[in-house]
Structure 1
Amino acid sequence: MKYLAEFQDPGLARRLLDDIHATATRPWALMEVCGGQTHSIIRHGIDQLLPEQVELIHGPGCPVCVTPLEMIDKALAVAALPEVTFCSFGDMLRVPGSGRDLFRVKSEGGDVRVVYSPLDALEIARRDPGRQVVFFGIGFETTAPANAMVVHQARRLGVRNFSLLVSHVRVPPAIEAIMRAPHCRVQAFLAAGHVCSVMGTDEYPELAARHKVPIVVTGFEPLDVLEGIRRTVHQLERGEHRVDNAYARAVRAEGNPAARRMLAEVFEVTDRAWRGIGTIPASGWRLAHAYRDFDAEHRFGVTGVTTEEPAACRSGEVLQGLIKPRECAAFGTTCTPRTPLGATMVSSEGACAAYYLYRRLDPAAPPSKEAAPVG
């Protein structure tokens, strides 16, 4: 892929790190709100290469991880219905609900299918009009436009046996909730480049000004992350709190106008529960009234579901940035990718999965500042 090697260049990484080391004079706590960035940070050892004054806090940036247990249980209930073909991306199938997961529903006879696009689910519905086909629509602003488009297409084509189980969330209200939390230590944010490529940066200046925090839009390759950290540390040291776009090759201030128009037509903003965090006002989307007939919750009447998180699982604290994964007693012992207690160990973007995959297993051993260079 073009530019891949350039954005993993060890020499450039060293120069960025030297600048960060030379600039940081006080303790600073930065939060990335993106699971892809978390995995890049842990995989390449970026957090171990930073000066001891700079701490990276992993935020609620994994879309699978923040999908609430209540919504997982609703998905399980719908998927188990004999008339339903339930379609989802693969990383949702092993997310534990209250007593089972979608793989278990499938093994018990449920028609559960992995698809690679919501359009695949729509095509299944078109080919088999006698079945109810449901697509599990989760995620941040990045996946929401495609799911909005598929519902728009279903209505345009008259595919009445297709519906969407919606659990979409929005990043800016989550940043607001994090900053208002009583034990918040976050002093700056690395904003997710792919979210901003869709939505632009309009909502961030007010957040930065109100909470006096720098917000730097950042990409996902090692040099992207290091440049985002470098710019953030410079702002913190100067006492600034601006929105800075360090991912200009993909992000424009206005975002993607066509995607935003589709979102505005198909969805409306609503309060949304986040797993491990609770309900955040105006932090999600639901189908607008004109598209309510395609709402799987409405169609199948899955309401009144009550849930309780496993007592041993501290994924909620991980998602809030209160602890690192290896500070949980269950991490790597009773909770592994094969036997997960929570979604943060299952998802390909979960912080617990990153720590397990890249062998950050020992809670007693502090990360070494002598780790090998990025690249």
Structure 2
Amino acid sequence: MFVFSLMFCFAVIMGSTTILSQDTLPVRWDYSDLYVSYPAEARDHQLEGTVVVWVRVDERGNVKSWRIVNSMSDPLDSAVISGIRSLRFKPRAINGRAVANGEAYVRFSFGGHYGGHGLDQYEHAVVNYNALLDMPEHTIGVLYYTERFYGRGRVRFIHGDIERARTDYDIARKRGCELPWYGKVQHDLVDPLLPHDTTSRDSLMKYAQLLSEYQLPLEALDMLLRIMAKYGEQQDVILELAKCYGVVQDWQKKWDMYRWCIQHGDTTTSVRLAASWAAYLARDDRSAVELCEELADKYPDDQNIQGNYGLALLTLERYAEATAIYQRIEDMEGDPSYYMLSDLKRHIGIGFPGKDKAREILRDVFKIPVLYIP
């Protein structure tokens, strides 16, 4: 079984102006030439995972080129490309104007079960051509069944119309469709950042979070920076920026965001996140170690913050001090192995140099046998 999720970003440029819509509109597309099947070779090896592809679509809806940005293995990649080559798009017109060529973001997720049926119980591809818009999330789903998979996605428009537009979309059952219901949706389309905009800050934040959720970190960063420019520095925006900077691996900016949280944050959660990131950077940034120590002194009863300070000390191979920190956690009736192991797993990217020593500390000091630390 595999799940097929779509997110499409269409663009049209009017002169030199591109206007971003906050919300989503349904799009009618034609999959009459699409055939995707879970490869037998992949099934033999029980391969699972997600393949992410960017495709360029022309104004006639044909896929002109593609680029895999998250590869799994040849059987799965080949199945994705085979399906993409025959993909056809028919975007709806907006105010009578057809949406021009643009890029489509496509996710193929392989693995798991749907409806209690395994991969080997379906032999033939039967494509359901219906597009479903599921209220209130405004997500489009397409049901296929071969090795039975279910697709969901979100459509985002960049278009040239600045006026408010409303579109109705009727969902009709077609022959061969097993889905039991119909649906109808009315949806508003409005640019959230024009000078005349009356859209609330909360709705803009929700939109930025959706971009991040659908793995479009650069677009999310752009939206968040525009929100911050318009409304000022606020904690929820800063934390979301930190998350996106981590996705694009801009570590210094992520660190700057957490520094802001430490200085201005008003919740323990933001301080814990900052402490976690400080521990991550401890080996290369002396100020990060000092910050971990400062937070540990400031929040002596917070086991999460104490655990992050312990991780920073382990990273620097200051084992005696780290042991004392984990003993403090144990004195608070906490589990030192939980914090040590969870922190090591979360920070696997730092190339932690003291895993064997950490296992030794757990075994000899806390009498906790640990066979393996990832």
TM (norm. structure 1) is: 0.23
Larger radius of gyration: 2
- Return the TM-score normalized by structure 2: 0.23
